[in-house]
Amino acid sequence: MSQLLNGHAIGYHRLWSHRSYTATMSLQLFLICGGSSAVQGSCFWWARTHRSHHRHTDTDQDPYNAKRGLLWTHIGWMLFKSDLRSGTADTADLRKDPVIQWQHRWYLYLVLIFGYALPTVISGWCWGDWVGGLCFVGAFRLTVAHHSTFCINSIAHYLGSTPYDDALTPRDHLLSAILTMGEGYHNFHHQFPMDYRNAFLWYQYDPTKWFITLCSFLGLAHNLRIFPSNEIAKGALTMKLKELKDFQDSIQWPSFPGDLPIVSWQSYQDQAKERPLILVSGFIHDAASFIEAHPGGKQSLLRNVGKDATSAFFGGVYSHSNAAHNLLAMMRVGILAGGVEAISEHHVPPSQRLYVAEATRDGSSSLP
């Protein structure tokens, strides 16, 4: 709970980095002191770096560029020297903020007080464990809080899904949310950074969102900003359509009518003497691979070889299912010349509503 209690996610991140809500002076002072206890730099420095990360995500101007590897994004960017520099970010509001500038000036003293002295004193006075207060409430708490924050830059850019946009590395995952105290729905956050919520759906884990909501009920937080739900839905729909398109492209579909040869009636009958060709709705089908597997028996197919079986297929003999229409379409090998009309919508399922223009000449092509 350290990251939540020290006010880092609530203050440094959502209040000052993204201005996703406004807070009373009492709440600001509480959060700025709590943020100091996290010992992660002054809010002015942290917010500027974080804004640069959002503006230049996944580039060399991103201080924790995810494309440089998991170790780099987690802690390497702070441990190793490099020629990389953070990109530009607008900090005009931070320079004018009296609370931010006060903490920036006195940051070292605030860190010593709230990061180390206060945890040690509380533990020592309350239950006589001065060393435990320094080692566990102070140092161990910081270790946990730091790595929890670092996981936002690392794990949240590698693990999970991209339900709103996949152009950049941020991802959503429950494990990331648990490790980061609710900051793990990172794909949503990078798409809608001004939203005070990190988790859009009610059941997603985001205690910081709940705390800010509670503060609003208590009159401590105001102007909670949310991105329009309609626009969030558009982003989600776009990704679902893209996923469906990828799935569609992975499926084998019938040959496009324009790619099929046009065959005359006489040529169709001649070629039907050599193999089981059946005409349905102007399309010539080669049923050789399906004769033995036909549920109605192969004789029902053989009786229609070289003939027009349109009426039989569409209910004259049996009203075939959508699956039958799909399977039949995969057997197309040609189009009958001179007599092809638009296929009636009520005869064909949506996936097979293809329309073929009437041929303007008699054909005599051989079927593939």
Q: Which CATH number fits domain 257-352: 3.40.50.720, 3.10.120.10, 3.40.190.10, 3.30.465.10?
A: 3.10.120.10
- Asked if residue 16 has pLDDT above 50, the reply is yes
pLDDT band at 127 (very low <50, low <70, confident <90, very high): confident
For the ranges 23-37, 70-84, 313-327, the maximum mean pLDDT occurs at 23-37
- The predicted structure's pLDDT at residue 365: 61
Mean local confidence (pLDDT), 35-63: 92
Cα separations (Å) of 110 from 32, 37, 322?
Answer: 9, 8, 71
- Asked if residue 362 has pLDDT above 60, the reply is no
Question: Contact at 8 Å (CB) between 221 and 215?
Answer: yes
**Per-residue pLDDT reduced to its tens digit, 131-163:** 887 888 778 888 888 888 899 999 999 999 999
- Asked if residue 212 has pLDDT above 70, the reply is yes
* pLDDT: which is higher, 170 or 312: 170
What CA–CA distance (Å, rounded) separates 154 from 64? 8
Mean local confidence (pLDDT), 317-324: 84
- Asked if residue 52 has pLDDT above 90, the reply is yes
- The predicted structure's pLDDT at residue 233: 96
**Through-space distance between the first and last CA atoms of the chain, rounded to whole angstroms:** 69
- The predicted structure's pLDDT at residue 7: 63
* pLDDT: which is higher, 174 or 365: 174
- The predicted structure's pLDDT at residue 272: 92
> What average pLDDT does the chain have?
87
Across the chain, how many H-helices and E-strands are there? Answer: 19, 6
- Asked if residue 104 has pLDDT above 80, the reply is yes
Rounded to 10°, the helix 25-37/98-105 angle is 30
Percent of the chain with pLDDT over 90: 59
Rounded to 10°, the helix 43-55/98-105 angle is 120
- Asked if residue 347 has pLDDT above 60, the reply is no
Domain boundaries, the chain: 2-244, 257-352
What CA–CA distance (Å, rounded) separates 314 from 323? 13
In one-letter notation, the amino acid at residue 215 is C
Q: Give pTM, 2 decimals.
A: 0.79
Mean local confidence (pLDDT), 70-86: 81
What CA–CA distance (Å, rounded) separates 314 from 316? 6
